[in-house]
Amino acid sequence: MSSQRRWWLGALGSMIALAAIGSWGCCSVTCCDKKPRNQLILVSPTADAVQPDVAVISKMAREEIVWKLPDGSTITHIDIIPKAPTPDTKPFEKCQMTQNVCRIDCKDGLCPTGAINPALNPTKEQSFYYDYGFKRLAATASTDPGIRIDP
């Protein structure tokens, strides 16, 4: 009879252990905001349509953009073009700047922007807007919806 009453002690101990491990696991993944979070943009195999239309990312949340290209894509890089009013500062740390255009190289079907440039300072009153286009070896390009960087 005493063993039937003590089953709850084992269950209680297991629940406490799971709660402790669960909170540690949460902090080590995304809950503590220590690592950047990616805004994934899926590029369709036809007409370079994207989902979502406009990428909205936050500097404070340390968000980044990653375009996922379809299999067999010939896209080599993405050009990010500032829209007015936008400062002359490059939007992302990984940018290769040429005539006020930010180039993001693609590799293995992914085109990651990297972190937002620390010198870029969007405010609650002023987000920054960009257009972007896909570039291929054959010099053909397509323009797609844009990017908004919030504080």
The pairing of strands 50-51 and 37-43 is antiparallel
pLDDT at 115: 93
How far apart are the C-alpha atoms of 92 and 90, rounded to whole Å? 6
More confident call, 5 vs 35:
5
Tell the residue number behind the tokens 């002023």, with chain if given: 126
Mean pLDDT across the stretch 16-45? Answer: 59
Higher pLDDT, 151 or 30: 151
- More confident call, 8 vs 103: 103
What residues contact residue 19 under an 8 Å CB cut-off, 6+ apart?
A: none
Show Cβ contacts of residue 28 under 8 Å, excluding neighbours closer than 6 positions: none
Q: Is the peptide bond before 85 cis (omega within 30 degrees of 0)?
A: yes
**Average pLDDT, integer, range 101-107:** 94
Integer Cα distance of 119 and 131 in angstroms:
20
Q: Can you give the pTM of this predicted structure? A: 0.68
pLDDT band at 88 (very low <50, low <70, confident <90, very high): confident
What pLDDT, on the 0 to 100 scale, is given for residue 81? 92
94, 44 Cβ separation under 8 angstroms: no
Residue 47 confidence class, pLDDT cut points 50, 70, 90: low
